[in-house]
Amino acid sequence: MSIRQFQAQRMQAPRDFIAIPNTPICVEIGAGKGKHALLFTGQNPQTVLYAIERTKEKFVAMQKQHQLDTREHLHPIHADALPWVVHALFPAQVEQFFILYPNPEPHNPAQRWLNMPFFEFLLSRLQPNGTITLASNIPEYISEAEQQLIDVWKLPYQKQKIAADSARTHFEIKYLERGELCQQLIITKPEAYTTRFDDFAPLQGQNAQEKRDV
């Protein structure tokens, strides 16, 4: 399966976009109601985590949880992940990406994370030796991602079975209670790995600013 080049420069800034500093961070894509984000920042209190959620209802729930249990370095973000990543993140800035139980896109395989041109851009934002954690309860999703890592992205990874008592997300709890097999791929970016976006600076809301200036 060949993958065309991602058109980063065409991405419009998310509404109410706010730029972030170029410091080491972690990013969770599709953070839902924020269960993993709160767990992670509780276990890693000095680590900055940006938790992105597109659905307003889930984002509001995450915000409420964050207000009840404040984490200094947790930043909930209400946005679509693709434009936010393009506008906000610097090359080799991210220590870890988390993509936990993404929509398997059963009717649109091209929208699965490792099938998208955007995945190359995501890799450009990852530090050397940084990791992407991709979790799913669908064996075929994991198998396809493995094949893409081997054939297309040429990346090393570890495949792990998720423990039955793991409780990182509401989906994970539900799937494990049903007795489903939950697995994750820990994908590592080698030191010498290169992408076509390694020198692509963040747009920092430029498109939105240009619209306002017109």
Q: 119-135, pLDDT tens digit by residue?
A: 999 999 999 999 999 99
* Residue 69 lies inside a defined structural domain of this protein: no
* Residue 68 lies inside a defined structural domain of this protein: no
CATH number of the domain that 167 lies in?
3.40.50.150
Tell me: the pLDDT tens digits for 19-35?
A: 999 999 999 999 999 99
Tell me: the pLDDT tens digits for 198-213?
A: 999 998 867 544 444 3
- How many domains does one find in the chain? 1
* Residue 46 lies inside a defined structural domain of this protein: no
* Residue 154 lies inside a defined structural domain of this protein: yes
Neighbours of 55 (CB within 10 A): 13
For residues 126 and 130, what is the distance between their CA atoms, to the nearest angstrom? 6
| Domain enclosing residue 119, as ranges | 80-213
* Residue 192 lies inside a defined structural domain of this protein: yes
User: pTM to 2 decimals?
Assistant: 0.94
Query: Positive or negative, the Cα torsion across 121, 134, 2, 81?
Result: negative
Mean pLDDT of 88-103: 97
Q: Calculate the average pLDDT of the chain.
A: 93
Query: Using an 8 Å Cβ cutoff, are 101 and 168 in contact?
Result: no
* Residue 117 lies inside a defined structural domain of this protein: yes
* Residue 70 lies inside a defined structural domain of this protein: no
* Residue 113 lies inside a defined structural domain of this protein: yes
Query: Using an 8 Å Cβ cutoff, are 49 and 25 in contact?
Result: yes
**Which pLDDT does position 212 carry in this prediction?**
41
Question: Distances from the Cα of 76 to the Cαs of 93, 155, 184, in angstroms?
Answer: 18, 29, 23
